Structure formats: C-alpha cells, structure tokens
Amino acid sequence: MPELPEVETTRRGIAPHLVGQRVSRVIVRDRRLRWPIPEDLDVRLSGQKIVAVERRAKYLLIEAEVGTLISHLGMSGNLRLVDAGLPPLKHEHVDIELESGLALRYTDPRRFGAMLWSLDPLNHELLARLGPEPLTDLFDGLRLFELSRGRAMAVKPFIMDNAIVVGVGNIYATEALFAAGIDPRRAAGSISKARYIKLATEIKRILAAAIERGGTTLRDFIGGDGQPGYFQQELFAYGRGEQPCKVCGTTLREVKLGQRASVYCPKCQK
C-alpha cells in the first residue's frame, strides 16, 4: 500500500511533467474506483492548465486554473507518465492527456483509489478534518503529549490516527516506536512529554529518510512503472516478528493493536 513517502515521491515524480501543461483530454476507461470518477471530469479539466501538484496526507492535489483533481492511490494505485496513445493494459483506468504528448496514466488493480473533483479541496469532506502534516512545525511531541492526556488507547493506534497526525502508517509507526524505545502497547496517556518529543523526532526522521530514498526513483515516473522504491529502508521491527532484534538480539514479538500487526522488542521498548 502506498504510504506517505511513496505518495510524496509520486508527487515529485509527476509534478515537473504536469505543471504549466494544458490538458487536452481526459479518458476514463473505468469509473468504478472507491467512489465513482465524476462523469464530467473530462469537461471540467480539458483545456485547463495545471498550475500545481500538491499533497495533503496521502491525497495528491492536481490543481488546475479552476478546480482541483483529488487523487488517492488506495491500496494498489499508481500514477506515471506515458506517451499518449500508448495502448492501455488491464487496470489502467484513466489517462489525462497533455499538450506535451504525454499522458498521466492511473493504474489501480484493486480499485480502492480515488479521483474526485473539487473547487475547494482543503475543505473537501475527505480532507477537512485531517491532522497536521508530520514534516511541518505544526506537528511535534508537545502535540502528541497534549492530545494523549487521559487517553487509555495504545500509543501505536494513537499515532496512526489521522486526526492526531497524518501519514504515520503501520511501517512508520512500528519503526518510530522502536527507534524511540516505546512499547507500542503502552497507554497513550501514560507516556511522558520527553518521550513524546523523542517519538515525534523519530517519526520525522524516518519519514524524511523514506522520502529521500524515494528520490532516487523519480526517473521511473516517466516511461517506467511509476512504482517508487517501497520498503527500501532498513527495517528494525516492521515485518520482523520472531526474528532477533538488530540491537540486542532478543526475539521480537508480534501482537495485534487496532487490527494491525505490531512488532516490538520486549527489551528495547518499554
């Protein structure tokens, strides 16, 4: 599943080919994504110049002169640039053709992604209640500390809650808690301010490193497969249940927290 770093890598990969380009037409071969693609998307977008490609949480915002295409990659989606007219393969549901002769092609085998149109994207119902971006100053350990007071839920689902901070998916929550030495099962309300400051620092460091590594795959967005370098980071805990801790050698444990697999080191994480 594309996580925030992969979505940001996608944004950086496609933006240079889109910004300043006029859309010549939009071809929708299958509207049935998580929500149906609007029937009038072609009418809305064709003839307009793309002025920016932004990201909010895991939503890509492709901003035209009037209106914005909100895209989400769902479980299995990707966006890449191809030569317009390249015959589509199965699951290649949408082409946004540009005057340059390239087309932004959306592929999504499982069709959990989204392509929606909005005149006011930041106030769209999907985006309006999202918490701050993790790599901005609006997110820090003090926010985690203050919002967690009195809360009995485990710290891992707490930091994965989009209302607290966006973009901390299972991989990054698992790895940040390991790096901060915090047991993922611990009640959010029982963790000190100092430990939350450390945790926020680790969330930022790990996400920034993942985005930086994604940068090495930017050329894959044109002519390539549009798959940024998922899972290229060295993982200490995620996916390593029953294997030895890379720090202390203790066998890592796996538990379910908020329906998600959670791996931790019983010695390094308290």
- The active-site residue out of 31, 34, 111, 260 is 260
Q: Which is nearer to Zn ion, 162 or 251 (CB)?
A: 251
Q: Which is nearer to Zn ion, 9 or 269 (CB)?
A: 269
Catalytic residue list contains 58: yes
Q: Which is nearer to Zn ion, 52 or 248 (CB)?
A: 248
Catalytic residue list contains 260: yes
Instruction: Give the span between the Cα atoms of 98 and 52, in whole angstroms.
Output: 14
The stretch near Zn ion (CB under 5 A) out of 89-97, 125-133, 211-219, 241-249 is 241-249
Catalytic residue list contains 2: yes
Distances, alpha carbon 95 to alpha carbons 101, 111, 227, in Å: 12, 15, 17
Is 110 flagged in the annotation as binding?
yes
User: Residue 243, interface with Zn ion (CB under 5 A)?
Assistant: no
Q: Which is nearer to Zn ion, 43 or 248 (CB)?
A: 248
User: Residue 248, interface with Zn ion (CB under 5 A)?
Assistant: yes
Catalytic residue list contains 34: no
Is 91 flagged in the annotation as binding?
yes
Given 247, 251, 261, 270, the residue binding Zn ion (CB under 5 A): 247
Q: Which residues 6+ apart lie within 8 Å of 268 measured at CB?
A: 178, 181, 245, 247, 248, 250
Q: Which residues of 60-84 are buried (b: 16+ CB within 10 A; e: fewer)?
A: bbbbbeebbbbbbbbeebbbbbbeb
User: Residue 179, interface with Zn ion (CB under 5 A)?
Assistant: no
Name the minimum Å distance from CB 156 to Zn ion: 17
Name the minimum Å distance from CB 3 to Zn ion: 24
User: Residue 52, interface with Zn ion (CB under 5 A)?
Assistant: no
Size of the site for Zn ion (CB under 5 A): 7
Given 154, 173, 188, 265, the residue binding Zn ion (CB under 5 A): 265
User: Residue 103, interface with Zn ion (CB under 5 A)?
Assistant: no
> What is the SS3 assignment for 229-264?
CCCCCCCCCCCCCCCECCCCCCECEEEEECCEEEEE
- The active-site residue out of 11, 58, 105, 156 is 58
Name the minimum Å distance from CB 180 to Zn ion: 13
Is 12 flagged in the annotation as binding?
no
Residue nearest to Zn ion according to CB distances in the complex = 245
Instruction: Give the span between the Cα atoms of 230 and 178, in whole angstroms.
Output: 20
Q: Which is nearer to Zn ion, 34 or 267 (CB)?
A: 267
User: Residue 268, interface with Zn ion (CB under 5 A)?
Assistant: yes
| Residues at the interface with Zn ion (CB under 5 A) | 245, 247-248, 250, 265, 267-268
Residues known to be catalytic: 2-3, 58, 260
User: Which residues are annotated binding-site positions?
Assistant: 91, 110, 151
